[in-house]
Amino acid sequence: MKTSSSSTSIMDMFEKGKVLKICAPMVRYSKLAFRSLVRKYNCDICFTPMIVAADFMRSVKARDSEFTTNERDRPLIVQFAAHDAQTLADAACVVAPFSDGVDLNCGCPQRWAMSAGYGACLINKPELVKDMVRHVRNQVDNPNYTASIKIRIHKDLKRTVDLCQKAESAGVSWITVHGRTAEERHQPVHYDAIKTIKDSVSVPVIANGDIKYLRDVESTHQLTGVDGVMAARGLLANPAMFAGYEDTPLECIWDWVDISIEQGTPFTCFHHHLIYMLERVSSQPERRVFNSLSSTSAVIDYLQNTYGSVHDLRT
């Protein structure tokens, strides 16, 4: 793993007047191989899956399994779950040579995370969030390294605005807003809330929630004025979404096969990603057969027989 010699800041990307397209942190899914894939299809910035900072600092084994990257895996944001400032800053210092910034997860609504003091419960602790951002800014010895937060909203939006303004005063680089409360799952995204937050701070704001097609990027920008959008499930279903494809193109599927073989992606992960990618382009009987496959060679044979090979694409 090479350290970065870059003197440029990820923040420069926000100054080009375009809407940045970002791959969300996804447990099990936004790992190096998938990041390598979406980068081929117009994704501007990628996040790692959420990593529990205390476990990461406690164990070399955890560090080696949770965080893998290479020199082409940039710009890269490492997302941590943490509930004390020094642990977060220590973890940031470890990953700083290999990444462009760290992000504090203040949005995960899962019960285990909330009960451990991580994730969305932090939106109710603005002083702690402020302290954690400040510690990272003060202790990472690189002025271009970013410290961002990813939040959900409160029912009382004034509390969310207060949180964001406190984070801004501590030096937060940007804020990603998932436009739902911690209790909401599949309800409509509150675009008006994201716009209010965007209008209340001077740092860049990223919108997250229900980005399924490239046209959603532009419509979200129009509704909220944000500086970027972040997609999760939309990219799982179609890793080429940001390049304007309505459904996963065959070339992207074969790119995933090549990347997975090259990087030694475990079969379960390799297969799960393809299940997501093929969901919108295959029939139910086809899905039933594909989902039951149990080896990489069986998957490759199936893809060739059902959809054709890369060679077919280029002739």
Residue 149 backbone phi and psi in degrees, to 5: -130, 150
Nearest partner of 28 among 221, 272, 249, 231, judged by Cα? 272
CA angle 227, 230, 236 (to 5 degrees): 155
Residues classed as catalytic: 108
Residue 59 host element (H or E): none
Place of tokens 């949005």: 107
| Long-range own/partner contacts, residues 156-159 (CB < 8 A, 24 or more apart) | 157/193, 157/196, 157/197, 159/123, 159/124
Residues 6+ apart with CB under 8 A from 36: 72, 73, 259, 263
Contact 70, 1 (CB under 8 A): yes
Instruction: Give the Å distances, CA to CA, from 87 to 26, 81, 93, 129.
Output: 22, 10, 10, 13
Q: Consult the annotation and say whether 53 binds a ligand.
A: no
Q: Consult the annotation and say whether 230 binds a ligand.
A: no
The structure tokens listed for 283 are 């029939």
Q: Consult the annotation and say whether 239 binds a ligand.
A: no
Q: What is the DSSP letter of 117?
A: T
Residues 6+ apart with CB under 8 A from 3: 97, 98
Q: Consult the annotation and say whether 85 binds a ligand.
A: no
Nearest partner of 211 among 146, 161, 194, 31, judged by Cα? 194
Angstrom distance (rounded) from CA 88 to CA 65: 18
Instruction: Give the Å distances, CA to CA, from 46 to 8, 43, 77, 161.
Output: 17, 7, 6, 26
Angstrom distance (rounded) from CA 38 to CA 30: 10
Q: Consult the annotation and say whether 232 binds a ligand.
A: yes
Q: Consult the annotation and say whether 285 binds a ligand.
A: no
Q: Consult the annotation and say whether 27 binds a ligand.
A: yes
Q: Binding site for FMN: residue ranges?
A: 25-27, 79, 178, 232-233
Which residue positions form the known binding site?
25-27, 79, 178, 232-233
